[in-house]
Amino acid sequence: MTNETHVWWKESVIYQIYPRSFADSDGDGIGDLNGITDHLPYLAKLGIDVIWLSPVYQSPNDDNGYDISDYRAIMEDFGTMEDFDRMLATAHRLGMRVVMDLVANHTSDEHVWFVESRSSRKSPYRDFYIWRDGHDGEPPNNWESVFSGPAWEYDEASDQWYLHLFSRKQPDLNWENPQTREAIYDMMRWWCDKGIDGWRMDVISMISKDQRFPDGQVGPDGYGDFFPYVVNGPRVHEFLREMNQEVLSHYDLLTVGEAGGVTIDEAKHYAAADGSELSMVFQFEHVDASLNEPAPLVGKWGTGKASMPKLRAILNKWQMELEGKAWNSLYWNNHDQPRVVSRFGDDRPKWRVRSAKMLATCLHMMKGTPYVYQGEELGMTNRHFSSIDECRDIEELNIWHQAVEELHMVTPEQMLACFDHVARDNVRTPMQWDASPNAGFTTGNPWIAVNPNYAEINAAACLADPDSVFYYYQRLIALRHSMPIIVYGTFHPLMEESEAIWAYERRLDGQTLTVACNWTDQPQPCPLWDDEPGTFVIGNYDTHEPGILKPYEAYVTVR
Ligand code: GLC
């Protein structure tokens, strides 16, 4: 028995759209809002409940919209506010909700707040950002930004430095200032009043900084690590509870915090079942697991692949420990994380479809709210990088400049091999709609090259094939809607000693759902159904042989 409160966002499946790469309606090579509206029936067919839109606000695009210059305007490349309103109304009419990206740790340096702030030490907006004096021409401390190089930028006119944990065009907002917070809340209310259905909160675990700004531990490239002084910072929960009081609690919203560095104990606060902060968080432990096996060459850049037992240990732990205390989000990839079938599965043609379905089963039968990233439902794969010229992401361009060109820490070949594994551009290639030129994404020149495998892997092909990854996701999503045990059942791990099979049970009101997934390309013995066959729920083969899981087989029953 579980006495979990029943709410729509626990019963939903979320689909993430990266607008730049989803669908281009006007031939400029960049996805846009009308492109999204055109494809809403496709999403309705998939059966998803909620769309999460990566940022569509006005932005100079230093970090593809995660650098906002006006929170209340739409990026020109993407269309107009009327286009947005039409997209929102159409989604609602088709029964889907829309969650927006809240990027409030930082703005663009072109945001009027920052332009004002920079204009003089006396500006009323000065304190909207984090300005400090340097030491003898050096920055206030040794922190390294996420996108390489120092986390402080010198402003000659006012002879001070501003903090930017990401690019120098993404100055960090000063959450210590109550006026900054009120300005953010006011903007959030404006969007909520428009009728949006929630927020995905960008790097929300980093909004509260240790005000002493101490030096961090120095890494191989000579910079210091800001993590201990920024992640889950001293006032983060206070700020989120305030935001909840001021804004969130007045609307019916799904809120999910992107919380790099979040621990289970911290998550119990961020996503507390009492609703005092957010609905749920994105934790990073499982996606970061690959990064240390073997050790990366520099920063996050390596070619490691996490083993199934390691991934299982992490996700099983989150399942068990949040039970009854906080709600999990379930994801394999997003616009920052490589394609799951390449990263954790097997993207060789022989196994790609089977493996993609197995991974989906393994995740979607767990307890929590599942997220599908555009193209995941087609089994889209990573791409191959043969030159830096193929890269668009500021993170790749900067690390290339620093580690390859400036410090000679890695060779170009080594870096490109790392890109093949973990570069964010792997997931930012255009959505593959059909086999026509540029995968039907655009009639123009795409802003980033299409993955060459689009002729084979695309939505039209999937829709024409009843056995496709698309229809498998459709079934998984429909099952979640029809079987409360998938939403609310408690989680119990099985066969934890197996090197090959990830298995678990869900239990609710005397019912048991049994899930087993073979993560290898070999048949594996599986005794789970020896005593009782149970009733078939879903699987990725036409037949199931007792006592065995075929290569990449996923099999689910209920009794
Ligand atoms: C988050 C976003 C990422 C962005 C960064 C800075 O991690 O998901 O895409 O680059 O924050 O906003």
Please tell me the residue having the least CA distance from ligand 1 atom 2.
Answer: 202
By three-state DSSP, how is residue 320 classified? helix
Residues 204 and 350 in one domain: yes
Residues 465 and 551 in one domain: no
H/E stretch holding 236 reads helix 236-246
pLDDT tens per residue across span 243-285 = 999 999 999 999 999 999 999 999 999 999 999 999 999 999 9
Check residue 224 and report its DSSP letter. Answer: B
Q: Comparing C-alpha atoms, which of 335, 330, 333 is closest to residue 345?
A: 333
By three-state DSSP, how is residue 555 classified? strand
- Displacement of CA 402 from its chain's centroid (Å): 26
Residues 206 and 340 in one domain: yes
Per-residue confidence (pLDDT) for residue 3, from 0 to 100: 64
CB-based pocket (< 6 A), ligand 1: 63, 66, 103, 166, 202-203, 258, 335-336
Q: Is the peptide bond before 294 cis (omega within 30 degrees of 0)?
A: yes
CATH number at residue 417: 3.20.20.80
Q: Comparing C-alpha atoms, which of 146, 16, 147 is closest to residue 427?
A: 16
- Rounded to the nearest angstrom, the distance between the alpha carbon of 146 and the centre of ligand 1 is 10
Residue 1 reports pLDDT greater than 70: no
Per-residue confidence (pLDDT) for residue 291, from 0 to 100: 77
Residues 214 and 239 in one domain: yes
| Average pLDDT over every residue of 504-515 | 98
Which of the listed residues 166, 200, 226, 397 should we mutate to test ligand 1's pocket, taking the one with most ligand atoms within 8 A of CB?
166
Whether 26 is in a domain gets the answer: yes
Whether 482 is in a domain gets the answer: no
Please tell me the residue having the least CA distance from ligand 1 atom 4.
Answer: 66
Distance between CA atoms of residues 518 and 547, nearest Å = 12
Whether 168 is in a domain gets the answer: no
Lookup: tokens for 153: 């930028």
What's the number of domains the chain is made of?
3
Distance between CA atoms of residues 256 and 52, nearest Å = 10
The residue annotated as part of the active site, out of 24, 49, 101, 202, is 202
Q: Comparing C-alpha atoms, which of 325, 324, 457, 449 is closest to residue 378?
A: 457
Residues 26 and 44 in one domain: yes
Task: Rounding to the nearest 10 degrees, give the CA dihedral for residues 340, 342, 345, 351.
Answer: 130
Residues in Cβ contact with 216 at an 8 Å cutoff, skipping those fewer than 6 apart? 141, 142, 143, 144, 223, 224, 225, 226, 227, 228, 229
DSSP 340-355: HHHHTS--STTTHHHH
Distance between CA atoms of residues 350 and 353, nearest Å = 8
Lookup: tokens for 60: 């100079």
| Average pLDDT over every residue of 504-525 | 98
Whether 133 is in a domain gets the answer: yes
Residue 453 reports pLDDT greater than 90: yes
- Rounded to the nearest angstrom, the distance between the alpha carbon of 334 and the centre of ligand 1 is 11
Sheet holding 160-163, edge to edge: 131-132, 160-163, 152-155
Percentage with pLDDT > 70 across the chain: 99
Amino acid type, 113:
W
Per-residue confidence (pLDDT) for residue 2, from 0 to 100: 54
Phi, psi of 379 (to 5 degrees): 70, 35
CA Rg value for the chain: 23
Whether 1 is in a domain gets the answer: no
CATH number at residue 535: 2.60.40.1180
Give pTM, 2 decimals: 0.97
Point out the ligand 1 atom lying closest to the alpha carbon of residue 260: 7
Range of the domain at 127: 112-163
β-strands 14-17, 369-373 pairing: parallel
CATH number at residue 154: 3.90.400.10
pLDDT tens per residue across span 181-202 = 999 999 999 999 999 999 999 9
- Rounded to the nearest angstrom, the distance between the alpha carbon of 66 and the centre of ligand 1 is 6
For the question of residue 258 being annotated catalytic, the response is: yes
Contact 280, 266 (CB under 8 A): no
Point out the ligand 1 atom lying closest to the alpha carbon of residue 63: 10
> No. of H helices and E strands in the chain?
17, 20
Q: Comparing C-alpha atoms, which of 67, 25, 281 is closest to residue 169?
A: 67
- According to DSSP, the residues that pair with 462 across neighbouring strands are none
Residues 422 and 394 in one domain: yes
The residue annotated as part of the active site, out of 258, 377, 396, 425, is 258
Cα separations (Å) of 349 from 104, 226, 343, 380?
A: 41, 42, 15, 12
**Average per-residue pLDDT for the chain:** 97
Per-residue confidence (pLDDT) for residue 90, from 0 to 100: 98
Distance between CA atoms of residues 421 and 398, nearest Å = 17
Distance between CA atoms of residues 77 and 30, nearest Å = 7
- Rounded to the nearest angstrom, the distance between the alpha carbon of 90 and the centre of ligand 1 is 28
For the question of residue 202 being annotated catalytic, the response is: yes
Residues 99 and 119 in one domain: no
Residues 82 and 129 in one domain: no
Name the residue with tokens 């073997």. 294
- Rounded to the nearest angstrom, the distance between the alpha carbon of 434 and the centre of ligand 1 is 29
Point out the ligand 1 atom lying closest to the alpha carbon of residue 394: 10
pLDDT tens per residue across span 9-33 = 999 999 999 999 999 999 999 999 9
Amino acid type, 190:
W
Whether 173 is in a domain gets the answer: no
Amino acid type, 461:
A
Answer positive or negative: Cα dihedral of 478, 484, 487, 491. Answer: negative
Residues 290 and 320 in one domain: yes
Residue 38 reports pLDDT greater than 80: yes
Residues 443 and 535 in one domain: no
- Rounded to the nearest angstrom, the distance between the alpha carbon of 410 and the centre of ligand 1 is 25
Distance between CA atoms of residues 318 and 102, nearest Å = 25
- Displacement of CA 371 from its chain's centroid (Å): 8
pLDDT tens per residue across span 156-188 = 999 999 999 999 999 999 999 999 999 999 999
Lookup: tokens for 517: 């997934």
Residues 345 and 409 in one domain: yes
| Average pLDDT over every residue of 530-551 | 96
pLDDT tens per residue across span 374-424 = 999 999 999 999 999 999 999 999 999 999 999 999 999 999 999 999 999
Q: Spell out the long-range contacts of 442-447 with Cβ–Cβ below 8 A and sequence spacing 24 or more.
A: 442/24, 442/27, 442/28, 442/29, 442/30, 442/31, 443/24, 443/27, 444/24, 444/27, 444/28, 444/29, 445/29, 446/24, 446/29, 447/20, 447/29, 447/30, 447/392
Residues 363 and 387 in one domain: yes
Whether 399 is in a domain gets the answer: yes
Whether 192 is in a domain gets the answer: yes
Please tell me the residue having the least CA distance from ligand 1 atom 12.
Answer: 66
Residue 293 reports pLDDT greater than 80: no
Distance between CA atoms of residues 326 and 241, nearest Å = 15
Distance between CA atoms of residues 12 and 4, nearest Å = 15
